[in-house]
Amino acid sequence: MSVPRPRIGLTATFCTHPTYEMRMAALGQRYISAIRAAGGLPFLIPGDTPPEEAPALLAALDGLLLTGGGDIAPQRYGGEPHPAVYGLRPSRDALEIALVREAITRGKPFLGICRGVQVLNVALGGTLYEDLPSQYPHALRHRSDDKTEREMLAHGVRLAAGSRLARLFGTEHLEVNSLHHQGVRDVASGLQATAWADDGLVEALEVPGHPFGLAVQWHPEWLYQKYPQHAAIFRALVEAAQEA
Ligand code: MN
């Protein structure tokens, strides 16, 4: 008998079908294929799931992937309205914050991607830059709207020696893509920053002492095929979920 593949829940959003004009649960296919390629069994978590259902969901899953998406409502972290803030979905904020808190409490392995690192930080009391280009002095170009640049290596990141990230990649320097206009401002107490862009911006957070609690600001789902080194982060999540 083969070993059961770990069940990984992926947070999804909603979109309107262009032809049928009806609301659809939606998730970028790359997240799904990355989890499947790493040996996980992907399950979609609808974005309108009531936050009270987070414990039941995580009880049924072996691991969690917090996916990318629009901005978190600034009032969630004591932030200010900003004209560049876009794509607010308060119900998704509430669900993902409940999911990540529950994953931390239960010691359930999770990986956050892009918005996911921001959700993790806000869930534990950290804050965000509402808009890097206007608020972060000397910022690198972290954001591109050019679809061809999703797989482009945009900047380096330095990984903290001895961190989970440095161990799983076997290096203290990575080149990553960059598709975000917000970023981590104050790191929540209870989290450790473990990667920084060349301009000093935090690009990864870890939960110390947790079996696998990690989130990155870049998008490995767009890199893992072209740059197989980046598949390691999905394999590490799936392996942790297997052991949990
Ligand atoms: Mn970046």
Q: Convert the pLDDT of each residue in 8-19 to its tens digit.
A: 999 999 999 999
Instruction: Give 152 Cα–ligand 1 centroid separation in angstroms.
Output: 12
Across all residues in the chain, what is the average pLDDT?
Answer: 95
Residues annotated catalytic, as ranges = 114, 219, 221
The pLDDT assigned to 149 comes to 87
Q: Which residue has the tokens 């990649």?
A: 169
Report CA(140)–ligand 1 centroid distance (Å): 8
Question: Residue 1: pLDDT above 60?
Answer: no
Distance between Cα 142 and ligand 1 center (Å) = 4
Residue 137 has pLDDT above 90, yes or no: no
Q: How far is the CA of 243 from the centre of ligand 1 (A)?
A: 31
CATH number, domain 7-134+141-243, options 2.60.120.510, 1.10.510.10, 3.40.50.880, 1.20.58.60: 3.40.50.880
Ligand 1 centroid vs 7 CA: distance in angstroms? 29
**pTM, two decimal places:** 0.96
Measured in Å, residue 18 CA sits from the centre of ligand 1 at 31
Q: Which amino acid is at 74?
A: P
90, 178, 184, 137 alpha-carbon torsion, rounded to 10°: -120
